[in-house]
Amino acid sequence: MSDGVFVMIISVASGKGGTGKTTVATNLAFALESDVQLLDCDVEEPNAHLFIRPTIEDVKTITTPVPEVDEEKCSLCGKCAEICQFKAIIVIGEIVLPFHELCHSCGGCREVCPEKAITETGRELGVIERGYRNGLELVHGRLRIGEAMSPPLIREVRHYTRPDRLTIIDAPPGTSCPVIAAMNGASFVLMVTEPTPFGLHDLKLAVEAVKVLGIPCGLVINRSDIGDGKVKAYAEEEGLPVLMEIPFDQRIAEAYSRGEMVVEVMPEWKDRFLDLFRRIEEIAR
């Protein structure tokens, strides 16, 4: 990476899966070479590591606090069940029953318990792994199988953001809470889409979410030579800059299927990704 690079957080998102989001996030990070962090926040299915192939140096189990009730102290007053918005703790007959999988760890039940009968235990959310390949740091979360809530784990991955590094986030696909958790606070959102009716539909939803967050946004159109021109027309209407177009290329598809980086297999793409970065930098500044 050149000296004096603007330290910022670029969140790479897409309204739907399969648009090439991870290809863009990993190749952008890899093209910049050093002093870059890639945070894979697609915690249900992290796959950036398959391309970056880092040496993992540390693994941390992440838990979230959930209530545990001391039956000896409990007077069955029901205040904990009343305050819980998620029906994650209920009083049935002579017992108070917490449902840890439904709990959002707000701590409300513990606060209101007049008998101090509620303490906290941990529910495992998943693990965070951190590794390196040369100057590139990769951090990803893996949600525990069966765990329904990914935003708390995404927020934990984002705690690894270093203020002295350019941070690239591979956001989960979609437009709901997990994506918001991966875009919130970013300096720029790079939206990866494809020029098809499905691509446009999901792009519109994702762009609405970015607007609410008030973050500057630009597009990468993948497989840009298939489909129709409606994505470009929409981008023009919305004033969204198209920062890169990736035409369909058998060699890119093959590199992806072998877990190889496009910028390594086709070095001419390195300059294109560096150019993409410069354009993002200009807008984010």
CB nearer ligand SF4, residue 77 or residue 265: 77
Would you say the C-alpha torsion 28, 32, 34, 36 has a positive or negative sign?
Answer: negative
CB nearer ligand SF4, residue 82 or residue 271: 82
Task: Name the residues that contact ligand SF4, by CB under 6 A.
Answer: 67, 69, 74-80, 83-84, 86, 88-89, 91, 96, 98, 103-109, 112-113, 115, 117-118
CB nearer ligand SF4, residue 123 or residue 232: 123
CB nearer ligand SF4, residue 2 or residue 85: 85
User: What is the signed CA dihedral for 190, 219, 16, 272, rounded to 10 degrees?
Assistant: -80
Phi, psi (rounded to 5 degrees) for 126: 160, -160
Nearest distance from C-beta of residue 153 to ligand SF4, angstroms: 17
User: What is the signed CA dihedral for 171, 164, 166, 42, rounded to 10 degrees?
Assistant: -20
CB nearer ligand SF4, residue 113 or residue 139: 113
SS3 139: strand
CB nearer ligand SF4, residue 114 or residue 197: 114
Nearest distance from C-beta of residue 68 to ligand SF4, angstroms: 10
Nearest distance from C-beta of residue 98 to ligand SF4, angstroms: 6
CB nearer ligand SF4, residue 12 or residue 117: 117
CB nearer ligand SF4, residue 76 or residue 266: 76
Element counts in the chain: helices (H) and strands (E)? 11, 11
How far apart, in whole angstroms, are the C-alpha atoms of residue 244 and residue 278? 11
Nearest distance from C-beta of residue 63 to ligand SF4, angstroms: 14
Burial class of residue 233, CB neighbours in 10 A (0-12, 13-18, 19+): exposed
Distance of CA 265 to the CA centre of its chain: 26
Nearest distance from C-beta of residue 85 to ligand SF4, angstroms: 7
Distance of CA 193 to the CA centre of its chain: 16
Burial class of residue 255, CB neighbours in 10 A (0-12, 13-18, 19+): buried
Nearest distance from C-beta of residue 102 to ligand SF4, angstroms: 7
Phi, psi (rounded to 5 degrees) for 96: -110, 125
Place of tokens 């519109």: 204
Distance of CA 267 to the CA centre of its chain: 27
Nearest Cα to 147, choosing from 64, 268, 237?
64
Nearest distance from C-beta of residue 101 to ligand SF4, angstroms: 10
The answer to whether 242 and 192 have CB atoms below 8 angstroms apart is: no
